[in-house]
């Protein structure tokens, strides 16, 4: 199976009885190895719920999430926790770096949680930071970095445990156009070179040309955008 991530007829709602609000309605998605998929849509369209379900943070009311050929439907809380640590990497809009840890330590703590050998972890951290152009910042604290540098470190941290899938939630929200393009370009390159799958929720139309596919989530329905509307 080449699909790293499959969402199979996912539906989700909030509330009880007559006051139920359906935010996802029979959503289907397949993301393959080496593919960066963008999800766009208006505020309140269910993008956060979609990302939480795809990233195994929230259990859907209906349907199943399949990661690397394994359905998560019967996973225990502990199994989901291990899955998030080892198979999933998250990138958040404000980088979410730990303020009292140096750049290198941001990555090493992830490896330690996953039980990675220390020497292997040091080598992987150095390699990722070098590839993402922030190796010279490895002894710096988050407050000493620019916004673009913080997001590059966040990408490196997300890749640290060699996950199958990367989820990015508005990764360019706090960046100007040039830095935002730079960060998504690096993410796309890492996804392809490391054979990952990635899903990025974004409002930033300036970076859509860097994505393999663009999907729109609106009124709980996920549809594919025609390529002609993206590039012209």
Tens-place pLDDT, residues 80-127:
999 999 999 999 888 889 999 999 999 999 999 989 999 999 999 999
Summarised one tens digit per residue, pLDDT across range 2-34 is 689 999 999 999 887 778 888 999 999 999 999
The pTM is what?
0.90
pLDDT at 229 over 80: no
How many other CB atoms sit within 10 Å of the CB of residue 15? Answer: 9
**Would you state the CATH architecture of domain 3-224?**
3-Layer(aba) Sandwich (3.40)
């Amino acid at each position: 199976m080449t699909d790293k991530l499959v969402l199979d007829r996912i539906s989700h709602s909030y509330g009880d009885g007559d006051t139920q609000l359906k935010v996802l309605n029979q959503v289907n998605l397949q993301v393959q190895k080496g593919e960066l998929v963008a999800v766009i849509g208006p505020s309140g369209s269910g993008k956060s719920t979609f990302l939480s379900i795809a990233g195994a943070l929230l259990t859907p009311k209906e349907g199943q999430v399949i990661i690397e050929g394994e359905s998560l439907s019967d996973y225990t809380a502990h199994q989901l926790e291990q899955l998030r640590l080892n198979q999933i990497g998250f990138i958040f809009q404000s980088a979410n770096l730990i303020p009292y840890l140096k750049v290198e330590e941001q990555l090493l703590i992830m490896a330690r949680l996953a039980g990675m050998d220390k020497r292997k972890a040091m080598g992987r951290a150095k390699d990722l930071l070098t590839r993402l152009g922030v190796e010279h910042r490895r002894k710096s604290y988050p407050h000493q970095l620019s916004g673009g540098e913080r997001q590059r470190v966040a990408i490196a941290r997300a890749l640290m445990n060699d996950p199958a899938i990367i989820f990015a939630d508005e990764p360019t929200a706090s960046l100007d156009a040039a830095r935002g393009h730079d960060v998504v370009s690096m993410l796309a390159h890492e996804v392809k070179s490391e054979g990952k799958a990635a899903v990025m929720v974004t409002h930033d139309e300036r970076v859509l040309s860097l994505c393999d596919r663009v999907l729109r989530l609106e009124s709980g329905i996920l549809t594919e955008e025609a390529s002609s509307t993206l590039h012209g």
